[in-house]
Amino acid sequence: MKKAYLGLVVAAGLILLFSGGVSARSASKLKSCSTEKAARGFSQTERAQVPNNRAARHCFPSHRAPEITGDIYVDAGNTGYEDGSEEYPFNTIQEGVDATPDGRTCVVIGEYEGSRIIYSASTGETFPILIEGRNGITLQGENYPVIKNGSIELQCSNDCTVEGIEITTRYIGISVCAYRYPYESTNVRILNNRIRIEGRPGSREQKVRGVIIEPSRLVEPSVYECYIEGNEIVTDVGILVRDVLEGSPGPETAVTIRDNLIWGGVVGIELWTKGNFIERNLIWKNKCGISLKDHANIISNNTLVFNPTGILFNCGLLTGHGDPRGTDAIVNNIVYWGIRGMDVRDTYVAGFASWEDIFRNNDIWDSVVNYSGMPDLSASGAGENISADPIFVDLAHKNCNLQLGSPCIDAGTDDIDGDGAPDITDYHGAAPDIGAFEFRP
């Protein structure tokens, strides 16, 4: 009887051996599978090491890559099993992005057990975090997760959003591009992020960019109707909309740059392309507030403070409403303190337009030269331009709301592009105010 029993054991062992059953490695894995491990499963790395191991899979039978029907979650603090659910989030952002179906949201968690988690190369994250060829996905930060010395790149993606993430970078914070492929990136939204310099770059010639938009010349428009809104950016160049062929007429990109705080850099906003909208931004203590290297852009209702050069024009020509080459409009802006408020270089007004057709209802105050390279419109009052103290609420703390009695209240225009039709409808009083912040008593 004993011999028969031993024979059965040996036979069973041979069957298991030749049928892909429990290997020595699997047996070892099973021995170390604690009650806790059995409950939560193996990490994604451990599962990859034993993809066909039935015995090891038995340790986590309830976690076999479940179908996630809601948001995909990422938390760098998770060191155990990962499936992208809220309970078992991935621990790198790239994993989460890659696992997020089009039209869905990847939530990046920024707080873990009361302390901030920082996503960096040391946590296994890879940079840049790439969103490539995607449609309608959202990368949503919770409690402002930190990406340290990294970046996010959107390539040839449409209707995608990056929101609520803090990035420290030595090169680029967020980029939207299509220059590598003959495809489009349209309706990309970069909302409510914080982007700052991490240390200094190796060369001062390589400026750190907060957000960069890079269209392609292989298809036009390649980057179109993107929105950069509500961000705080502290980098050398806050926002750059760049043409890959510098010095030639740029493509039309139709990027809206709105409601951002951009400060402490070399250039706040720099445009090398046409058809863009810059509105309601606070641009503070940069060497140059806004730099324009192409025409047909609309700059309206911005407040620029403590920039030695307020708005720099090096775009060759400026065109008024009705010009087939597009419309330039510099309207309802406050430029407070500087050396040159409006600095026009190698630029002329084209066609039938005049300077006051393009520069209207601006307040240039406390600059050494209000208008350089063009007529002083504030001295003549042409185009309803003024030069008066805007009377901010608390300049020392960047509170550039207008106080009661400010000459900028009701001194703007609702017709931004000069076509005779109102473009601004949400304002208090008889007319829109000059500057980024509408006075509301």
Q: How far apart are CA 279 and CA 21, in angstroms?
A: 66
pLDDT band at 28 (very low <50, low <70, confident <90, very high): very low
Confidence tier at 23 by pLDDT (50, 70, 90): very low
- Smallest CA-to-CA distance from 152 within 143, 142, 141 is with 141
Contact 97, 130 (CB under 8 A): yes
CA angle 238, 299, 406 (to 5 degrees): 100
Mean pLDDT over residues 298-319, rounded?
96
Taking 70 as the threshold, does the pLDDT of residue 188 lie above it?
yes
The rounded distance, in Å, linking the Cα atoms of 419 and 270 is: 26
Q: Where are the beta strands (DSSP E) in 215-276?
A: 223-224, 227-229, 232-234, 237-241, 256-258, 261-263, 267-271
With cut-offs at 50, 70 and 90, classify the pLDDT of residue 123: confident
pLDDT in tens, 124-182: 899 999 999 999 999 999 989 999 989 999 998 999 999 999 999 989 999 998 766 56
Q: How confident is the model at residue 41 (pLDDT cuts 50, 70, 90)?
A: very low
CB 110 within 8 A of CB 141: yes
Contact 84, 68 (CB under 8 A): yes
| Residue 36, pLDDT above cutoff 70 | no
Identity of residue 265: G
The predicted pLDDT at position 220 comes to 65
The reported pTM is 0.84
Three-state secondary structure call for residue 15: helix
192 exposed, middle or buried (CB, 10 Å; 0-12, 13-18, 19+)? middle
Angstrom CA distances, 262 to 8, 267, 280, 340, stand at: 77, 9, 11, 19
321-376 tens-digit pLDDT: 989 889 999 999 999 999 999 999 989 998 888 999 999 999 999 999 999 999 99
Please provide the average confidence, as pLDDT, over all residues in the chain. Answer: 83
Interval 273-280 mean pLDDT: 96
- Quick: pLDDT tens for 52-71: 332 332 333 333 445 778 99
Q: What is the pLDDT of residue 187?
A: 94
Q: pLDDT at residue 202 above 60?
A: no
